[in-house]
Amino acid sequence: MRPITRDEVRGAIVNLEPAEKRVRLPAWFDDVSWHEIDYLGWRDLRAPKRAYLVTATDDQAFGVLLRQAPNHAFLASRAMMCDLCRSSRRFNEVSLFTAQRSSRDKRRRLSARGLHLCTDLDCMAIIRSKPVRQSIDSSVEDAIKERSEGLRSRMIAFIRSVAEVEPTTL
């Protein structure tokens, strides 16, 4: 991923409400190794149920504000799959996150998109780990590259689905 400035990150969030224009960046923002990541993901320390995902594509940064739904104890014996990295994890390691769709019309703001994500937003570490079983045709580096490309394409598709606004009827 190409380096992104603080202003680009703040302007990249597509579904901010006018009252929520303040985006708190993580304290470690200046220490990010941009060439090693596929996206920038962090949680707001002042609002722990709020998370941000930002990625760059086509020389433009796109991002989304997410809100975490509470995990339920009755799911304790179940495994869940992250929609981005496609890894199965324990119920408390994967959470449902929702993103309100952006719209100028207040009635359309009730629409939201959701996906299951790793609760600590560490999908990059999971996809870069060595595969347990290697496929016959590809090397470990190729498998990691395929995972990385899949994660990026799924993230971009999700952010675009949040950003798209239905045309108004006249």
Per residue in 122-168, pLDDT (tens digit) is: 888 888 887 776 666 678 888 888 889 999 999 999 988 888 755 44
* pLDDT for the residue 83: 92
For the cut 70, the answer to whether the pLDDT of residue 109 exceeds it is: no
What's the start-to-end Cα distance of the chain, in Å? 41
* pLDDT for the residue 135: 61
**Per-residue exposure over 31-50, b if at least 16 CB sit within 10 Å of its own CB, e if not:** eeeeeeebbbbbbbeeeeeb
For the cut 70, the answer to whether the pLDDT of residue 170 exceeds it is: no
What secondary structure letter does DSSP report for 53? E
Go through the chain and tell me how many residues it has. 170
Lowest mean pLDDT among 50-54, 109-113, 117-121: 109-113
